[in-house]
Structure 1
Amino acid sequence: MPHESDPEPEVNISGGEAGGGAPATFDPATADTRAERIVDRLGARYWQKTYGGQDAFTCLVRTILSQNTSDVASQPAHDALLERYDGPDIDLAAALAAAERSTLAETISAAGLYNQKSGVIVDAAEWVLERWGSAAGFDAFVREGDPHEVRATLLEVSGVGPKTADCVLLFAGGRDGVFPVDTHVHRIYRRLGIAPPDADHEAVREVLERDVPAEKCGFGHTATIQFGRDFCTARRPACLEDPNACPMADICDQVGVYPETGEVVDPADAPEAAGD
């Protein structure tokens, strides 16, 4: 059941410490696209924030840990990693580059796929040291470098995909116009009819970054995730129980959702998409 009063979790990849962003106010009356109206409505329900300021390498590690798992599972792994390898006057990149992989894997086991993720983290730490000499040098690159160059550079790292790169740009770099696409965002904006039913993650990102103003993309990402958890779940979206239960009911195309039969399919598999 949706919990409309639930706050953003105090510590998660969608926000970081104390929500990870500064409260901001935007005027929804100026929305020019349907995507922007949806983001405005989500922001009014959950939160409107600007993001940035997280340490870039810590954010990279945190996002790697979150891949293919939930914050509930990955947060303890992140906490355990920092407890073992981080501290005052310690360069986290140097500490992880020198980490014994089996020990690191055991440390982050709560996150799942821990053998794979430990390898990605050590490789990323070695890459940071080779390119920038320290986590601080990497942080400066993420904050001050050309965002397209930063994104392309991050995508060179094995195990770092578009969503991970975009989260680093958003939560560490504080870059406007970045709308990371995770499984919630990918599902929801195709289901709503904002992106084509067969759009991949990158195609959905391109639509959102085109149709949502740059300053709204950050909270659009985090609020959409919460909306996906509360209402627009993968298997039992709220509209199956009650057509009026979802706050987006009047603006959603329900692609792949059939309340009359209770069937839910991926938007790409919806019969309506067959002739597109």
Structure 2
Amino acid sequence: MVDEPAENISGGVGDGGGEVTFDPREAETRAEAVVDELGELYWRKAYGGQDAFECLVRTILSQNTSDVASQPAHDSLMARYGSTDDGTDLARTLADAEQSELAESIRSAGLYNQKSEMIIDAAAEIVGEFGSKQAFDAYVREEDPQTVRERLMAIRGVGPKTADCVLLFSGGRGGIFPVDTHVHRISRRMGLAPPSADHEGVREHLERDVPAEKCGFGHTAMLQFGREYCKARKPACLDGPEACPLYDYCDRVGVDEVEESVVDPAEVVADD
């Protein structure tokens, strides 16, 4: 089993997670069987322990870009705003930040003007309602998960995936399976969710079919699997069944191994 890469925003540096074991009983759904295989291939971890506000900032920075780009932006932001002489917490510091200066600090993440505005607005909203990042952290950990999810999604720029990442990596909430582009593609390609399902539809299927304690590492391991094997344009199965460790679990919706062509699974439905 390999170590989880530190550059992975979803549970990378400072994730607060730890290795776990899970019940080796026979999987009750194909989705659970896939996650079990991913756990053997990569890692099995229990998540939680990140500072909730910093997790929110990290995830906003990761939107529409790679970890390679967003990690330096996060490091630069923390170096500039993460510690103050008077002990002011990060949320208060960012709520008062000059937008152009913050944008320059996070330039490597792309969409830096938009993301800097989102971060400042989120910080101001959190300080205004909760008073501090510590109080916000307690809210994320202790309040009903659905209530937290809805509150997070009320913040400008925070969508379902961002909210779910905060719930998982900060709150340590079981049964949360964030859906990014990799999880969305793989789940529909494998047949774990309908080909035309949107991100929310995929999430509902995975959280229904994967036991709560396996959802966290299911997300991070599936993300890694998408980077290494089940790529958007050239999945490993095009090189033959032996090239993909999950070949026998996959319906390969949208993948034509004979023609060596790949389309989004939703296009297969549209053509029928």
Alignment match of 1:195 (pick from 193, 196, 215): 193
> Within 5 Å, which residues of 2 pair with 1:1-276?
7-17=3-13, 20-87=16-83, 89-270=87-268, 274-275=271-272
Q: Which amino acid aligns with 1:74?
A: S
TM-score by length of 2: 0.96
| Distance in 2 of aligned mates of 1:19 and 1:259 | 38
Please state whether the residue corresponding to 1:8 is helix, strand or coil: coil
Contact 1:24–1:49 under 8 Å retained in 2? yes
Q: CA deviation at 1:19?
A: 5.7
Contact 2:43–2:217 under 8 Å retained in 1? yes
| Distance in 1 of aligned mates of 2:43 and 2:246 | 16
Please state whether the residue corresponding to 2:178 is helix, strand or coil: coil
Q: CA deviation at 1:235?
A: 0.6
**Post-superposition CA distance 1:194-231 (Å, at most 9, x none):** 10000000000000000000000000000000100110
TM-score by length of 1: 0.95
Query: Would you say how many aligned residue pairs link Structure 1 and Structure 2?
Result: 270
* Stretches (4+) displaced over 6 A: none
| Distance in 1 of aligned mates of 2:140 and 2:69 | 27
Please state whether the residue corresponding to 2:243 is helix, strand or coil: coil
Q: Which amino acid aligns with 1:223?
A: A
Which shows bigger deviation, 72-81 or 88-97? 88-97
Q: Which runs of 5+ in 1 are unaligned?
A: none
Contact 1:49–1:219 under 8 Å retained in 2? yes
Contact 1:21–1:51 under 8 Å retained in 2? yes
Contact 1:9–1:19 under 8 Å retained in 2? no
Q: Which amino acid aligns with 2:262?
A: V
Q: CA deviation at 1:129?
A: 0.5
Q: Which amino acid aligns with 1:70?
A: S
Please state whether the residue corresponding to 2:177 is helix, strand or coil: coil
Q: CA deviation at 1:46?
A: 0.3
Q: Which amino acid aligns with 1:86?
A: G
Aligned-pair identity (%): 65
Which shows bigger deviation, 89-98 or 183-192? 89-98
Contact 1:59–1:168 under 8 Å retained in 2? yes
Q: CA deviation at 1:6?
A: 5.3
| Distance in 2 of aligned mates of 1:147 and 1:107 | 32
Contact 1:15–1:222 under 8 Å retained in 2? yes
Q: Which runs of 5+ in 2 are unaligned?
A: none
Q: CA deviation at 1:30?
A: 3.0
| Distance in 2 of aligned mates of 1:236 and 1:29 | 34
| Distance in 2 of aligned mates of 1:22 and 1:159 | 30
